[in-house]
């Protein structure tokens, strides 16, 4: 029995360590398959020896409790207070002045954190073991959700061995990442169950399930942001250092946390986070600033419902209520018909919104958006605004369901919906004005042929005057005719034609991307260019195409059909006849960075960010917009920002520009 006990102890220790590395440090040290193998071994041993199961410590004991009849009440020993809000720089400056005046100091150090849009939770550990978890409730009394909290893998059942207090209450937020939310709603949709409105509602609904097995099946996460009860031990003297201690003890803490000095630094942090907000893996609705020094916190004290030493600086609302004035259909480059709601103007996320996408017919039917409806509009960062949901209680009596037109609203060609696809498409191809114009705009875009000065309005003007019908016509434009257009002239036309001429010296991957083949993005275009000449690609079979990385049967079919279309081949021949050339470098290109993920931050001197991205992709690398445990390298230029801090905290290798250029020089 002794050897069994020893093996069980080793397995629990290993699995808890791997979980800590994965969920807290975001740096997994073993493959998922190895974790699963050890976990299954633990399950089998515990099944054979149930008397040796340790509920407070074993990873297998997170799920399986019987459903509850109700949640018990929990009285918080230290109230879970709300925070006062700030909505502008002036509010923040006034808060800082109040704090400095009360403490009679010239400058305050603050702990700056993101404000997660989740559900506040209290976790009580005694002798390092999780004994109780409770919701915030009304701040004085919450609900006991211990059995559900135990199912969340990022919450340790036992703190990591260290000098933690014998009684410690950690406080934080249970939330759902954007990806987890989409995954959950996709599952709900497949099972024809009710969809969740947003990640916060999904997290709250998942945590308050009486059956913990349902909670266990939901992708919930946790981040700690403070403490409540502390007994039998000492803590650091600053809030920021307490967060580091919580992380040491096994509790995950947001990487977007800094210690800043003075109000100007606070405002700078707020603006930096607001700019990167849409790229974070989870939703936030503001930034929280807390006086960092605990002695100063104690001196400031509380008002009736909030501490004087903290403030939540809220972002402009990303959701707002407005009315649908009409629904129009736009035609995209690939012929996709997209319904768009025309809205009564409303401020969302700091900008005025008058249009919102309805995505496709499936979404219109699911949400049942109608002209005259009162709707909630959502906007996240630079993402196109969308109609999130309809307020049915405000629907007028006389409304009608929207239906997609049978014909393209631009060219009149029949519209079709291929079985298995959500999108309705115009069948007119390049005979459709909308598709032709969008294909030219895409061809000229920066990530494609990069024709400077050829904007959307100019493309429309060139098309409507008959000077353009497809992308090959760009290389036939005459200066006199272009100069005669509205808002053009000799100088502007000369600059445009010079840019068009310069685009003839291209790269094959950019040219392939510029052609606008359905579902062929930059990475796929680079993979194709690395393995084929253009001639070989034009004659490649679907089976040969499927051998290329990231090309499956659907994409292979799209590529093959594109090059079989006579209209497309005649345009390609015309482009080549116009003098578009590239170095035939397929044999020279290497994939020495295949599978490596890079993130670029700051300003680079030798190359633009796009040029750097192209060079890395051409070597097989992936370029991401955010740092995570899966990032291999962070390329840091001048003024790198918070990505550098996060990379350092995760142990990501940092490259300066010189080191990157040296790496790219290698054959």
- The Cβ of residue 602 has, within 10 Å, a number of other Cβ atoms equal to 17
3-state secondary structure of 460: helix
Q: How far, in Å, CA of 520 to CA of 440, rounded? A: 16
Phi, psi of 554 (to 5 degrees): -65, -50
The angle at the Cα of 293, spanning 292 to 294, to the nearest 5 degrees, equals 110
Task: Tell me if residue 622 is catalytic.
Answer: no
Strand order in the sheet with 310-314: 84-86, 310-314, 284-291, 109-116, 257-261
Q: Which of 48, 115, 367, 481 is catalytic?
A: 115
3-state secondary structure of 388: strand
CB–CB of 46/60 below 8 Å? yes
Residue 487 backbone zone (phi > 0: left; psi -120 to 50: alpha; other: beta): left
Cα 568 vs. chain centroid, distance in angstroms? Answer: 35
Phi, psi of 120 (to 5 degrees): -70, 135
CB–CB of 506/580 below 8 Å? yes
Q: How far, in Å, CA of 497 to CA of 474, rounded? A: 9
Beta bridge partners of 173: 120, 223
CB–CB of 293/300 below 8 Å? no
Q: How far, in Å, CA of 200 to CA of 366, rounded? A: 21
Token look-up 């068009």 returns 500
Token look-up 């079709």 returns 416
Q: How far, in Å, CA of 17 to CA of 650, rounded? A: 16
Q: How far, in Å, CA of 211 to CA of 547, rounded? A: 46
Residues 6+ apart with CB under 8 A from 460: 437
Residue 54 backbone zone (phi > 0: left; psi -120 to 50: alpha; other: beta): beta
Helix (H) or strand (E) holding 534: helix 534-538
Residues 6+ apart with CB under 8 A from 113: 225, 254, 256, 257, 287, 288, 289, 290
Report the length, in residues, of the chain: 667
Phi, psi of 550 (to 5 degrees): 70, 10
Range list of H helices, 211-262: 212-216, 239-248
Task: Calculate the CA dihedral of residues 225, 231, 232, 233 and round it to 10 degrees.
Answer: 30
Cα 250 vs. chain centroid, distance in angstroms? Answer: 25
Range list of H helices, 113-216: 146-149, 178-190, 199-207, 212-216
Just list the catalytic residues.
115
């Amino acid at each position: 029995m002794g050897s069994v006990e020893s093996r069980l102890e080793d397995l629990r220790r290993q699995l808890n360590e791997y979980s800590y590395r994965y969920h807290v440090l975001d740096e997994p040290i073993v493959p998922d398959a190895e974790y699963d193998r050890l976990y299954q071994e633990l399950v089998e041993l515990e099944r054979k020896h149930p008397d040796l199961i340790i509920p407070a410590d074993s990873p297998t004991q997170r799920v399986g409790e019987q459903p509850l009849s109700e949640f018990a009440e929990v009285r918080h020993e230290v109230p879970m207070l709300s925070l006062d809000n700030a909505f502008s720089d002036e509010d923040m400056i006034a808060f800082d002045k109040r704090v400095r005046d009360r403490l009679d100091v010239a400058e305050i150090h603050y702990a700056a954190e993101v404000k997660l849009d989740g559900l506040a939770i209290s976790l009580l550990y005694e002798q390092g073991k999780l004994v109780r978890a409770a919701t915030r409730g009304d701040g004085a009394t919450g609900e006991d959700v211990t059995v559900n909290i135990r199912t969340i893998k990022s919450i340790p059942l036992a703190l990591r061995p260290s000098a933690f207090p014998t009684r410690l209450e950690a406080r934080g937020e249970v939330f759902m990442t954007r990806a987890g939310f989409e995954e959950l709603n996709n599952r709900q949709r497949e099972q024809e169950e009710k969809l969740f409105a947003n990640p916060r509602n999904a997290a709250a609904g998942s945590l308050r399930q009486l059956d913990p097995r349902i909670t266990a099946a939901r992708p919930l996460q946790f981040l700690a942001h403070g403490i409540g009860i502390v007994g039998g031990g000492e803590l650091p003297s600053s809030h920021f250092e307490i967060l580091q201690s919580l992380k040491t003890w096994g509790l995950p803490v947001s990487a977007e946390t800094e210690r800043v000095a003075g109000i100007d630094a606070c405002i700078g942090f707020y603006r930096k986070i607001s700019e990167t907000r849409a790229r974070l893996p989870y939703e936030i609705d503001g930034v929280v600033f807390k006086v960092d020094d605990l002695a100063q916190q104690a001196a400031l004290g509380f008002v009736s419902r909030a501490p004087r030493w903290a403030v939540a600086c809220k972002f402009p609302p990303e959701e707002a209520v407005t009315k649908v004035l009409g629904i129009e259909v736009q035609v995209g480059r690939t012929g996709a018909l997209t319904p768009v709601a025309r809205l009564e103007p409303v401020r969302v996320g700091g900008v005025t919104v008058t249009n919102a996408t309805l995505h496709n017919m499936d979404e219109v039917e699911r949400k049942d958006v109608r002209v005259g409806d009162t709707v909630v509009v959502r906007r996240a960062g630079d993402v196109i605004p969308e109609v999130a949901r309809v307020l049915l209680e405000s629907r007028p009596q006389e409304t009608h369901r929207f239906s997609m037109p049978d014909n393209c609203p631009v060219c009149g060609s029949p519209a079709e919906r291929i079985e298995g696809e959500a999108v309705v498409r115009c069948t007119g191809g390049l005979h459709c004005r909308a598709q032709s114009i969008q294909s030219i705009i895409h061809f000229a875009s920066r990530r494609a042929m990069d024709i400077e000065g050829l904007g959307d309005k100019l493309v429309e003007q060139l098309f409507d005057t008959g000077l353009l019908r497809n992308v090959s016509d760009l290389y036939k434009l005459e200066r006199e005719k272009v100069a005669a257009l509205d808002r053009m002239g000799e100088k502007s036309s000369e600059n445009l034609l010079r840019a068009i001429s310069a685009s003839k010296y291209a790269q094959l991957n950019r040219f392939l991307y510029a052609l606008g083949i359905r579902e062929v993005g930059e990475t796929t275009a680079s993979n194709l260019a690395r393995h084929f000449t253009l001639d070989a690609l034009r004659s490649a079979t679907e089976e040969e195409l499927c051998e290329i990385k990231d090309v499956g049967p659907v994409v292979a079919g799209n590529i093959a059909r594109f090059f079989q279309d006579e209209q497309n081949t005649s345009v390609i021949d015309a482009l080549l006849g116009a003098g578009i050339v590239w170095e035939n470098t397929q044999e020279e290109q290497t994939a020495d960075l295949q599978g490596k993920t890079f993130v670029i931050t700051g300003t680079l001197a030798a190359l633009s960010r796009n040029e750097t991205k192209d060079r890395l992709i051409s070597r097989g690398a992936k370029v991401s917009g955010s740092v995570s445990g899966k990032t291999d390298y962070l390329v840091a230029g001048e003024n790198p920002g918070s990505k550098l801090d996060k990379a350092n905290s995760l142990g990501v290798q940092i490259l300066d520009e010189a080191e990157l250029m040296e790496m790219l020089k290698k054959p």
